[in-house]
Each structure stands twice: as structure tokens, then as C-alpha cells.
Amino acid sequence: MLEGWIQIALTLLIVVVITPFFGRYMARVFLEQRTFLDPILNPVERVLYSAIGVSAKEDMTGWQYARAILYSNVVMGLLIFFMIMNQGWLPLNPTKISAPTWDTILHTTISFITNTNQQHYSGETYLSYASQMWGLGYHMFTSAATGIAVAIAFIRGLTGRPLGNFYVDLIRSITRILLPICIVGGIIMMAAGVPETLAGPAVFSTLEDPNISQAIARGPVAHFEIIKQLGENGGGFFAINSAHPFENPNGLTNLVQLVALLSIPTSLIYTYGVIANNVKQAWLVYSIPFAILVCFVIITAIGEYNGNPAVNALLGSQQPNLEGKEVRFGWAESALYAAFTTATMCGAVNSMHDSFMPNGGFVTLSNMFLQIVFGGQGTGTAYLFAYLILAVFVTGLMVGRTPEFLGRKIEKREVVLASFLILMVHPISILIPAAIALAFPDQLAGISNPGFHGFAQVIYEYASAAANNGSGFEGLGDSQPSPIAIATGAKTTATALWWNLSTCFSLLAGRYIPIIGLLLLADSMSRKQSVPFTTGTLRTDTGLFTGVTAGVILILGALTFFPVLAFGPIGEAFQIAKGIG
């Protein structure tokens, strides 16, 4: 037991130590200060700017920035849809996989351009190497870079600067942050045993019967794996994601993945502190999601270590809950990974969340409901400061102080935008499609698991889509037959069609409506005149205000979804406690 807790503590410590160094580096990149990569990348970026006709000094308004994101994402989405639709005759397809069904391709396309990577397919049997590398891998870079760009534009707006240029921010996010780390990380992953090959499946004779052969899927996994984690993408090359020994073979690769998926969202808060010239406030803000994350890790770990009392009684002694877990990671690393991947909206898994005790279900769902622990790539940081703006307004009303943030007045427009983002868009994206699915459990959704856990499976699917997380509780018929199965006579299902199309609504609404709102909020703040600090100004860089902000987050974020949690993991926990689950 002690060894597991030490592993958890050391991983959290590594993340905290990395934060100021990486955060300061990102600040230098986007403040256009000198970095060690300038001699190599400055000429490359000038060529890219010239090729797409963009001036590095041309700033955009909030609407212009949002339109640039939408236009570029539509074009990139059409490209990936076309590529997967035609993968049967494109190169790098050693197993000759034809195109999946149109609804699977549509869902996959939208899922990857929104940085969600929710997968209603198995990578090794549905997609060619070309589709995985050139299609999905490309979008892992661009969707992650889009989130970083939004965060930087939002930080600029809060601090009174122009929002910048989306295309410049997108390119610099890739060339200066994602790509260099992925090159180093990919080499580490290969050295640790993750395959990187264009050869087809390896075929071996089985030990039971030498006349029977078995094909073992492989592919260009190492470079795919590191951007999957660093970019908070989460989509696995194989069906079982980072529980697969080719994606995550040992403790070293597991540690690299955990640190990678947390490094950017945690460091962006410190980046804000450098840009705003208020590192003290950055650490105070940082403490909010970090404290929640630590609590959630402990809750999940306790549940997995203690296991199910009914099962423990059958075993004759206390055993951790290893059902759905990889033995090479155990209860501690599985619990830590689940809390990290849903806190950061990565969605990668090294164990099956559906197999977790209710503690884990409560934590993973709560993370996706809150979206700020540490949240999606870039957007989680922006959400956190949107909560900060609401806290300033609420506190100002309570104590009679002027609601100001960084010397700029918080007025009706800012409050409406922030509250709309936090209180309206996310719940609508989850609860409306979930209500429809639950109203027609047999006809539409094909829900096979009754009771509290089955309810949680449905809510989890839409929460995962709306939060752009991508992980799943599984147990739902959300996959159409593979191209290989269809070729042998398998039929498509209306149930999978429902899940593919209904989650597309949550994917799109959960990604683009908040991004537009965040950019408009940042644009509004950037246009305000700075007012001098007076004795009537509410200070936002104090421990007291940080505590108030944490309270606002828990009240507004958690209570919105408390009834859902009560009918899901909380109800399941009481059921197990009574010995009937």
C-alpha cells in the first residue's frame, strides 16, 4: 500500500516542479522573447507565414479569431473525412482495410478536430496506418495547438493586450511547444519498448497448436503515443488505449504519459502569471485545481485499494480491485491515471473506467463536469479564469467592493458571457441528449446495463463528448461493425448510428460555443480602460479570495450536476454498501 501512495506523491511532485520552467518558457514563446529554438525555427516560421499569407504582427478581434478557428477546422475536418473514406486505396494500408461506415467516419472526424478523440471504433481493425498518422495524428497537433492558442488569446485579453493572430499562435504552438517535445518524447517511448514501424501485423504460430497462426497488430505507435498524451488528445492507436502493452509497456512509459498529459495545462497557469506580471496570483489560482485533483486522486485510490466488500469476502482477505486493471500498473497507477486523464480532458486510459468502484466513477464524472481540474488543452485555463471573473462579481456584490479584475471593471457583458459558458452550454450539451437516450433505452440507445451504473454509463458518454475528454464507461452499443466484419456480412445498427450522431452534437457544442464565448469575453476585457487601484478595489491575489473562488467553483460547477451524480455513482456506492451490488 505504501509503495502505491509514494508513486502517487512522486508523480504529483514532478508535475509541480516542471510547472514554473515550462510555464516561463511558454510565456517567452508567446511574448515573442528570445528562446533557444529561435535560430532554427524563425526561418521556418517566416516561410510558413508567407505561404499562408499571414502577417506575424497582424492582430485579430475576438470574432476574427473565432472565425479563423472555425474556418480552419472545417477545412481540416473535410480533409480527414476524405482521407478515411478513401483509405482503402490510399497507401500505408498493409491489412487492406476498407472505409468504415459514414457515421463512424463523421463521428471520428468531429471527435478529433475538437481535441476529444472519443473513439467508437478499434484503431487496429478500422483504420489504416495512413489514416492514423496523416489524418488523426495531424489533428492531434492542430486541435491541441488550437486549444493553446485560445488560452493565450484569453490571457492576452485579460491583461489588456490585443488578442493576437490565431494562425501565428497555432504555428508557434506546434513548432515551439508540441513538436520539439514530441520528438524527444517519441524517442524515449521507442527506447522504452513502444513500437514504431510501418510493417504489417506480425504473424506467429500459437503455442497450443503450431498449425494455427495468430496476427499481432503493430504500427507507428511511439510518435502517435506522445502527442496523444502531450496534446491531451487521448485517442489510442489500439482499442484498449494505454492499457495495451504496445502503447504503454512499463512503469517508465506510464510515468512519461502521466507527466506529459498534465504538463501543458498546469504550466499555462504559470504562463498567465508571467504575462500578467503577477506570479503570486498564478500560484494561488494554481492551488485551486491542484487541491481538488489531490482530493480526487485520494478518493479514487481509496476506492480501488479497498475494492468491493462482497468480492473481498469471497477472496478471504483484503484485495485491491484489479478487475479491469493491468497488473503491471496495479491499483495506485490505475487510480492516478484515471484521475489525471479526466482532470485534464485527455481521455487516455491505462485501465477500464467502467470497472472502477463508485469512488472512481464519481471522480471521473466530476472532473468532466467541472472542466477546470486542470481542464482541456488551453480551454481549461480559460474556464478557470472565467470562474475567477464570476467570483470577483459575486464577492464584490457581497462586500460592496468594485468588481474589477486586473484593473478592469467586470460589467454585465462579462458576467453574462462567463455565466453562460459555465452554467448553460455544458449542462445542455450533456443532459438533453442523455435525457433522450434514457427515454428510449431499448429503441435508441441499446442500454444493456440497468440501474445506477447503466445510468452513469449514458451520462458519462455525453459528459466525455461535451468536455472534449473522450474516455468512456463502455457497455454501450456505440460501435458499428468493422470494415472487415461488414465485408463478411455483418450489418450496421441503428443503436450505433444514434450514439455516433447524438454525441456529435455534444462534441461540437462543447467545443466551439465555449471557445467563441471565451474569445468574446477576452476581447471585451482587452478593450476596457485600466482603472487605478484604490482602497475600494477588491484584491484577487490573496488567499481569502482564492478560497472564495474555490467555493464558487464547487457551488456553481458541482451542484449543477449533483442530481446526476446522486443517480449514478453515489447511488451505486450505497447499493454496494448494502451488499446488493
| Residue pLDDT tens, the chain, 581 long | 788 899 999 999 999 999 999 999 999 999 999 999 999 999 999 999 999 888 878 899 999 999 999 999 999 999 999 999 999 999 999 999 999 999 999 999 999 999 999 999 999 999 999 999 999 999 999 999 999 999 999 999 999 999 999 999 999 999 999 999 999 999 999 999 999 999 999 888 888 888 888 889 999 999 999 999 999 999 999 999 999 999 999 999 999 999 999 999 999 999 999 999 999 999 999 999 999 999 999 999 999 988 877 777 776 665 688 888 888 898 999 999 999 999 999 999 999 999 899 999 999 999 999 999 998 888 888 888 888 888 888 887 777 777 778 778 888 888 888 888 777 899 999 999 999 998 887 766 677 777 898 899 999 999 999 999 999 887 788 899 999 899 888 888 888 999 999 999 999 999 999 999 999 999 999 888 877 776 666 777 888 889 988 988 888 877 889 999 999 999 998 888 776 55
In what helix (H) or strand (E) does residue 216 lie, and over which residues does it extend? strand 213-216
Calpha distance 374→369 (Å, rounded) = 12
Cell numbers found for residue 206: 500459437
Calpha distance 133→224 (Å, rounded) = 7
3-state secondary structure 6-57: HHHHHHHHHHHHHHHHHHHHHHHHHCCCCCCCHHHHHHHHHHHHHHHCCCCC
Give the DSSP letter of residue 374: S
Give pLDDT, residue 397: 77
Calpha distance 533→249 (Å, rounded) = 55
Calpha distance 519→425 (Å, rounded) = 15
End-to-end alpha carbon distance in the chain: 26
Calpha distance 240→224 (Å, rounded) = 15
Cell numbers found for residue 192: 522504452
Start-end of H helices in 307-371: 309-315, 330-343, 358-370
Give pLDDT, residue 315: 67
Q: Could you tell me if 186 and 229 are in contact, meaning their C-beta atoms sit under 8 angstroms apart?
A: no
Give pLDDT, residue 222: 95
The Cβ of residue 486 has, within 10 Å, a number of other Cβ atoms equal to: 16
Calpha distance 33→21 (Å, rounded) = 15
Give pLDDT, residue 529: 82
In sequence order, which residues have a C-beta less than 8 Å from that of residue 147 and are 6 or more positions away? Answer: 115, 232, 376, 377, 378, 379
Q: Could you tell me if 141 and 179 are in contact, meaning their C-beta atoms sit under 8 angstroms apart?
A: yes
Give pLDDT, residue 164: 93
Closest CA to 221 of 99, 376, 348, 115: 348
Give pLDDT, residue 531: 72
* Radius of gyration of the chain measured on its C-alpha atoms: 23
- Beta-bridged to residue 205, according to DSSP, are 213
Cell numbers found for residue 408: 478592469
SS3 402: strand
User: In terms of C-beta density within 10 A (0-12 exposed, 13-18 middle, 19 or more buried), how is residue 513 classed?
Assistant: middle
Cell numbers found for residue 228: 496523444
Give the DSSP letter of residue 211: T
Give pLDDT, residue 206: 83
Calpha distance 84→90 (Å, rounded) = 9
Give pLDDT, residue 90: 93
Cell numbers found for residue 438: 434514457
Calpha distance 274→26 (Å, rounded) = 10
3-state secondary structure 443-466: HHHCCCCCHHHHHHHHHHHHHHHH
**Burial profile 339-372: b = 16 or more Cβ within 10 angstroms, e = fewer:** bbbbbbbbbbbbbbbbbbbbbbbbbbbbbbbbbb
Which conformational region is residue 204 in: left (phi greater than 0), alpha (psi within -120 to 50 degrees), or beta?
beta
Q: Count H helices, E strands: the chain?
A: 25, 4
